[in-house]
Structure 1
Amino acid sequence: MNNPRSNSDLAYVLHSVPYKETSLIVELFCKEHGRMPVVAKGAKRPHSGLRAVLVSFQPLSVRFTGKSDVKTLTQAEWMGGLMSPDGKALFAAYYLNELLMRGLGREDNHPELFDLYQQTLIGLVAGEDMNVCIRRFEVGLLQALGYGFDWQFDAQGRDIESDSAYVWQDQVGWTTSNGLNVGNLQNGLVEQMVQGHWMVEIQQGLWSKAAASALKPITRRLLLAHVAPNGLMSRVWMEHLLRHD
Structure 2
Amino acid sequence: MPERVECQPAYVLHSRPYKETSALVSFLTLDYGRIDGVARGVRRKNSRNRALLQSLQPLHISWRGASELKTLSDIEACGGLPLLTGRAVSCVLYANELINRLIMPGEAVPELFREYALLINQLQDKALLEPALRNFEWQLLASLGYPILFRQSSGKVIDPQGRYDYLWQSGFVINDEGIPGELLLALEQDDWSDPRALRAAKILNRAAIQPLLGDKPLLSRQLFHNGVHKAPAP
Alignment match, 2:18: 19
Residue type at the aligned position of 1:98: E
SS where residue 6 of structure 1 aligns? Answer: strand
Change over 3 Å in CA distance of 1:82–1:194 after alignment to 2: farther
Q: Identity of counterpart residues, as a percentage? A: 33
Deviation of residue 101 (structure 1)? 0.7
- Could you tell me how far apart the structure 1 residues matched to 2:184 and 2:135 are? 12
Gaps of 5+ in 1: 182-192
Deviation of residue 115 (structure 1)? 0.9
* 1:113-166 residue CA offsets vs partner (Å, 9 max, x unmatched): 111111111111222343333222222212221222112x21111122333222
* 1:3-58 residue CA offsets vs partner (Å, 9 max, x unmatched): 22333311000001111111111101101111111111110011212112111111
- Could you tell me how far apart the structure 1 residues matched to 2:32 and 2:131 are? 28
- Could you tell me how far apart the structure 2 residues matched to 1:220 and 1:159 are? 22
Gaps of 5+ in 2: none
Alignment match, 1:190: none
Deviation of residue 81 (structure 1)? 4.1
Alignment match, 2:180: 195
TM-score in terms of structure 1 length: 0.85
8 Å contact 1:131–1:213 — kept in the other structure?
no
8 Å contact 2:49–2:75 — kept in the other structure?
yes
Alignment match, 1:163: 161
The alignment's C-alpha RMSD in Å is 1.9
- Could you tell me how far apart the structure 1 residues matched to 2:89 and 2:76 are? 22
Change over 3 Å in CA distance of 1:236–1:210 after alignment to 2: farther
Alignment match, 2:88: 89
Change over 3 Å in CA distance of 1:228–1:95 after alignment to 2: farther
Deviation of residue 227 (structure 1)? 2.2
Deviation of residue 82 (structure 1)? 4.7
8 Å contact 2:63–2:70 — kept in the other structure?
yes
Alignment match, 1:222: 208
How many residues align structurally? 228
SS where residue 136 of structure 1 aligns? Answer: helix
8 Å contact 2:166–2:207 — kept in the other structure?
no
Change over 3 Å in CA distance of 1:127–1:74 after alignment to 2: same
Change over 3 Å in CA distance of 1:123–1:228 after alignment to 2: farther
TM-score in terms of structure 2 length: 0.89
- Could you tell me how far apart the structure 2 residues matched to 1:228 and 1:121 are? 27
Most deviating of 200-209 and 137-146: 200-209
8 Å contact 1:25–1:38 — kept in the other structure?
yes
Alignment match, 2:146: 147
- Could you tell me how far apart the structure 1 residues matched to 2:210 and 2:26 are? 22
Alignment match, 2:190: 205
- Could you tell me how far apart the structure 2 residues matched to 1:224 and 1:203 are? 21
Most deviating of 117-126 and 25-34: 117-126
8 Å contact 2:116–2:136 — kept in the other structure?
yes
Residue type at the aligned position of 2:152: D
- Could you tell me how far apart the structure 1 residues matched to 2:102 and 2:212 are? 8
Alignment match, 1:122: 121
8 Å contact 1:82–1:122 — kept in the other structure?
no
